[in-house]
Amino acid sequence: MTFLKITTISLLLLSTFGFVKSEYYEESFILMGTFVNIKVDNKGNCKKAVSAAIKEMKRLEIIFNLFDVNSELYKINNDKNKLNGIIISDEFLELLNLSFYINKISDGLFDPTVQPILDIWGFYSKDKNKAPEGNIIKIKLAQVGMRNIEVDKTKKIIRFKNEGTKLDFNAVAKGYIVDKAANILKNMGVEKGIVDAGGDISCFGKSEFEQWTIGMRHPKFKDRIIASIKIKNKAAATSGGYENYIIIDNEKLAHIINPKTGYPVKNNVLSSTVISNKCVISDGLATALFILKPEEGLKLIEGLKDVDCIIISEEGGKLRFTISQNIMDRVEIL
């Protein structure tokens, strides 16, 4: 099953404070096109909890898979009745509401309706080597924007105001699914654990002293760790475009689109990492930060409560780190 994720520069769990090998239980598997690892305290019914979390992650993957003809997302995007209204599931409604929220706090830079633009640039097919004409981009931009989506939260109905508008949750679905898995573990009595889905990470622990050391992969050399950060009871996600790109006129174009212009992002940002209370929030905001200049991204994050960031950019051939004030003492540049 294909599940394209718009996050390429990933985080890596380096160490877990308080975990002794004999004291934890873990399972690893492939989901959403990425490697997933769940590690928890080896106590009580931990195996049952991990099994329940994995089952839920697989169920949610099917709902939000952009390319699976059997997924709810695919069916909604291609429903001939989309202008009149379609009944959606509780999960779809929840992620849609979260997307509206992230869109608002990011000033529209995170936008799950950008799929028509990604399509004409060839980021999904990767078989195009020519930029779309400006008039085509303009036409497609009319299909982009949360203004084209109307939701009746009581009746759980979604209406599209533009027939060409399509939803794409690839920038938040993985974070949302990681959050759901972590919640199941906690609700089933797991006191300490981590869910790591290819760099979308949620950590939790009952003790205020338990923390995890998360490594940030080098944005140019994926086998190197460039920095580490210690977090506890938080979630983190990273967005970047160094590896996922298309080449047009001998120029590498990052796969992240500015939804306000319809063009791939061109700036000096190599990766953007966001730490918050929810992985879905970190996921969506990391995409938004990649579009902004480092100073603009920092200003956005420091205006939000309980959200922090690490932005890596390249200036004059050298790497530059832009880090929010609250986490400076927990970040180590390697």
What is the distance between the alpha carbons of residues 49 and 58, in angstroms, rounded to a whole number?
A: 14
- Of residues 229 and 252, more confidence is placed in 229
Q: Is the pLDDT of residue 188 over 90?
A: yes
Q: If you write DSSP's letter for every residue of 145-164 in order, what string do you get?
A: SGGGEEEETTTTEEEESSTT
CATH class of the domain comprising 11-62+172-333: alpha beta
Share of the chain above pLDDT 90, in %: 71
Q: Is the pLDDT of residue 85 over 60?
A: yes
Domain layout of the chain by residue ranges: 11-62+172-333, 66-160
Q: Is the pLDDT of residue 7 over 50?
A: no
Q: What is the pLDDT of residue 177?
A: 98
| Closest residue by Cα to residue 86 from 77, 95, 96 | 77
Task: Categorize the per-residue pLDDT at 8 as very low, low, confident or very high, splitting at 50, 70 and 90.
Answer: very low
DSSP assignment letter at 7:
-
pLDDT tens-place string over residues 106-161 = 999 999 999 999 888 877 765 666 788 889 999 999 999 999 999 999 999 999 99
Q: Is the pLDDT of residue 272 over 60?
A: yes
pTM of the model: 0.92
Lowest average pLDDT, out of 33-37, 50-54, 101-105, 220-224, goes to: 220-224
Q: Is the pLDDT of residue 1 over 50?
A: no
DSSP assignment letter at 218:
P
pLDDT, average across residues 170-186: 97
Mean of pLDDT over the chain: 89
Q: Is the pLDDT of residue 15 over 50?
A: no
Beta strands in the chain (DSSP E): 11-16, 24-31, 34-41, 86-87, 149-152, 157-160, 192-197, 200-205, 212-217, 225-231, 235-240, 245-248, 251-254, 257-258, 263-264, 269-276, 308-315, 318-323, 331-333
Q: Is the pLDDT of residue 16 over 90?
A: no
Task: Categorize the per-residue pLDDT at 17 as very low, low, confident or very high, splitting at 50, 70 and 90.
Answer: very low
What is the distance between the alpha carbons of residues 143 and 125, in angstroms, rounded to a whole number?
A: 20
Q: Is the pLDDT of residue 242 over 60?
A: no
Share of the chain above pLDDT 70, in %: 87
DSSP assignment letter at 304:
S
Q: What is the pLDDT of residue 87?
A: 98
What is the distance between the alpha carbons of residues 225 and 54, in angstroms, rounded to a whole number?
A: 28
Task: Categorize the per-residue pLDDT at 13 as very low, low, confident or very high, splitting at 50, 70 and 90.
Answer: low
3-state secondary structure of 90: helix
Q: Is the pLDDT of residue 332 over 60?
A: yes
Tell me the two tokens of residue 119.
Answer: 């399509």
Q: What is the pLDDT of residue 318?
A: 93
Task: Categorize the per-residue pLDDT at 221 as very low, low, confident or very high, splitting at 50, 70 and 90.
Answer: confident
- Amino acid identity at 288: A
Task: Categorize the per-residue pLDDT at 2 as very low, low, confident or very high, splitting at 50, 70 and 90.
Answer: very low
Indicate the CATH number for domain 66-160: 1.10.3980.10
